[in-house]
Structure 1
């Protein structure tokens, strides 16, 4: 073996050790952000299922420069666009209907059978070899289930886009996928617990890989949709689509969360293949010139042959992306922006009878803040805010954060004795170019 080959082999061993340290399946019942810090990344190709962590691009010696034309000092996190085609957008509060609740419940019960199957197969095995064979069988069934979840997700969005189902139908189907993914993760957790001591490193790695793949179908936005589908009321959820894109967004727990999928970017296509971790790091620095370069740490894992998942915090929030290594394009993105950290710009500023209403947005897009003040004292004023004919919330201490989508909307602010009507859209709404991603990540 040559000296160069020995170096690469040693690096691969280090990667394996790092992955083993993070092999445990995360708790499947809740959405969590996990950040790891283990050291620098090298120019090696990570084996499938392994993880690499280290300083973000632009933070160490030899860091790649930001691509020309992208301003890393803008301090506005880049967002993944929805791609070409006609843009549709609407917002609504997910609510339950009998059909929705029954459909979600039945689907969850069918998937939950997997945990009982784990117990049955492993309890009947008498040797480590039999237990490992049972584990491989369950993992193969889970791999097929993951593929079916992706097919169901694509079909749900296609049906909504083509008019075959309405928004409630889309929410129901996405909630079902979300809950099914959680149950499959519980199955993996049960499998890992019951087969402990019989698992090889290869099987441990496969369990971790499948768990990360299942995480693609879960997000805080889908959690809110699923809560609404089973009867728990929550805030507004925005849904936008193009021919090949879906965006879901909401305000939850003091943060704005946006999830985007570009279905056309899952398969291979034109683009430069990313063969090393260094190339992935450099590419993320180009696609997210502010968020990635401002991050002090990141984690990168290979979730399947063509997809890397990368997570990185930054001063205004956190980002999780799924990067197609064959094309260098972002397939999925979930962004969380902390509302007390984002930089806003004024979209509307109107005063009526000493009542001042301002509407501020982040780079002309959601999240949107409605602020109501007494113009004479600058004291906060409690008011009910409506968008169209829907009441969307009440200003708490004078402020309300919400999503309004990409179409111009008529907003009413009512204090009980005074009413102010404003239009958000002429200067505050995301443009078609922005929605299509021509100024966003990967376009």
Structure 2
């Protein structure tokens, strides 16, 4: 779909939505959709929210694992933060102490060159981390921590970039191209994301343990997590970039995002719903919509979305595709989703519909091992991120257990991979009581459903 007619306004101050971006950081465009049209738009809850992800043919590895506070990385992040502040402070003090304007100007340029060189080094470090994970030389935990470390350094470098921009404005008869500063900001953006930020919060003990989905290709990755009542994801695809060309305008970038994310775009907010920042070899398009926020980066050479982050409140997420099983008065429902997507597990009394609080485990069907997710709580609900392959959900209450085996739904890809049907839609459900030996064949909405029994339930053991 094409972007609807928009009123373009040049923003001359930092937008509260975009954070620290200032007037020297490139062209910022704030857009508002037609309010009459918005009134006719239905809620996106039951519509497809497309995502940037890795085609099944290019998927190298995928895991879903729980991560928690870790003293070693926690100390490393603390040291990294302190080091960044010290380096920035020392750089600015050295510049301000220059004995003449010529020396001051040269020091500013030297510091800017240093940041640009570090950005190149971070690109290499990120690529190396992905390659080592794909080669099974490091674990998913190691990869996540390395990506989080790169994120933290990139943010520290951007703070130094902003400090240099400010001190440059105070230097007589001297300036740095706003395009150069903005291009550097966009490049540092490549290494940051909300999932990596949350990973830092988890390993440093500022947030509770969480299950992270990690999916990689040869040069890209997708991370996702459920935390604080939200589903958060970020994706980066280096293979969709072409730095040798610069042919896509910011208007075209908005059209590209509108076509790739039609549901999000059609439900954008009437005020400050869309912002576009164009700099260097990419365009950052941020959309605030009724049920979340999208930040998509469009490469100026390929005209493709190569980086994405999305945040969606769990309360806004529903599904039309679920697997369910009923046994011994318990009704277990799994709202199926795509690999790495927001997975909802619901447990109720089958007759009254009242929510049931019980422990829930999940594990890959092929591994025969499960891990404890937690308990469903007073509302009978627990959220996590979906595995990338068939998985088994087990709920035990007293002497009864319900075991449900199902699989992810197809990935709702953006762009050229939108028709890739990565996963099937069949599901098998097994409900296991503690007494009785009868077996019944049923038919469910997600495919073949069966109920069976055995002498007594066996809780799955811990694992990945």
Shorter-chain TM-score range: 0.7 to 0.9
> Is 2:371 aligned against 1:390?
yes
The one of 10, 29, 37 equivalent to 1:52 is: 29
Taking the aligned partners of 1:183 and 1:273, their CA distance within structure 2 comes to 28
So what's the TM-score if we normalise by structure 1? 0.77
> Are the aligned partners of 2:112 and 2:164 in contact in 1 as well (CA < 8 Å)?
no
User: Within 2, Cα distance between the matches of 1:435 and 1:55?
Assistant: 23
- C-alpha deviations, 1:12-44, integer Å up to 9, x for none? 9x74xx2x4128xx9xxxxxx5389xxxxxxxx
2:250 and 2:278 in contact (8 A); partners too: no
**Offset at 1:111?**
4.0
Give 2:441's aligned residue.
none
Assess, with a 3 A threshold, how the Cα gap between structure 1 residues 167 and 352 changes in structure 2: closer, same or farther: same
Partner of 1:222: 196
Deviation of the 1:121 alpha carbon: 1.6
Based on CA coordinates, which of the two structures has the bigger radius of gyration? 2
Distance 1:203 1:244 in 2: 31
C-alpha distance in structure 2 between counterparts of 1:246 and 1:109, whole Å: 28
SS at match of 1:243: coil
Distance, in Å, in 2 between the alignment partners of 1:409 and 1:435 is: 25
Residues 210-242 of structure 1 show CA distances to partners (whole Å, capped at 9, x for unaligned) of 444433322221122223333554210001122
Greater relative contact order, per chain length (Cα 8 Å cut-off, separation 6+): 1
**TM-aligned CA deviation for residue 434 of structure 1:** 5.7
- Residue 453 (structure 2) aligns with: none
Which of 98, 120, 132 aligns to 1:147? It is 120
Q: Deviations over 1:358-399 (max 9, x none)?
A: 111346872010111112221111111111321122213211
Gap regions ≥5 residues in structure 1:
1-10, 27-32, 37-45, 62-71
Q: Greater CA deviation, 110-119 or 168-177?
A: 110-119
5 Å matches for 1:16-415? 18=11, 20-22=12-14, 34=18, 49-55=26-32, 59=34, 75-83=47-55, 84-95=57-68, 100-101=73-74, 103-104=76-77, 107-108=80-81, 110-125=83-98, 130-191=103-164, 197-198=170-171, 202=176, 206-207=180-181, 209-231=183-205, 233-268=208-243, 274-296=247-269, 297-304=273-280, 306-362=281-337, 366-388=341-363, 389-396=370-377, 397-415=379-397
C-alpha separation between the residues in 2 aligned to 1:205 and 1:86?
Answer: 36
CA distance in 2, matches of 1:364, 1:177: 25
Aligned residue pairs total 392
Aligned partners of 2:294 and 2:308 also within 8 Å: yes
CA positional deviation for 1:338:
1.6
Q: Are the counterparts in 1 of residues 24 and 178 from structure 2 also a CA contact under 8 Å?
A: no
Shift in Å, 1:320: 0.5
Structure 1 pair 376/60, CA: closer, same or farther in 2 (3 Å)? closer
User: What TM-score do the two structures reach when normalised by structure 2?
Assistant: 0.74
SS in structure 1 of the partner of residue 118 of structure 2: helix
- CA deviation vs aligned residue, 1:109-131 (integer Å, no higher than 9, x gap): 55444213223323313566654
Q: What is the DSSP-based 3-state SS (H/G/I as helix, E as strand, rest coil) of the residue aligned with 2:53? A: coil
Contact 1:74-1:290 within 8 A present in 2 as well: no
1:249 is displaced (CA, Å) by 0.5
Q: Deviation of residue 436 (structure 1)?
A: 11
Instruction: Decide whether the 8 Å contact of 1:317 with 1:338 is kept in 2.
Output: yes
* CA contact 1:35–1:298 (8 Å) conserved in 2: no
In structure 2, the residue corresponding to 1:147 is in which secondary structure? helix
Task: Tell me the SS of whatever aligns to 1:185.
Answer: helix
Task: Tell me: CA distance 1:336–1:261, structure 2 relative to 1, closer, same or farther (3 Å).
Answer: same
For residues 436 and 329 of structure 1, the distance between their equivalents in structure 2, rounded to whole angstroms, comes to 8
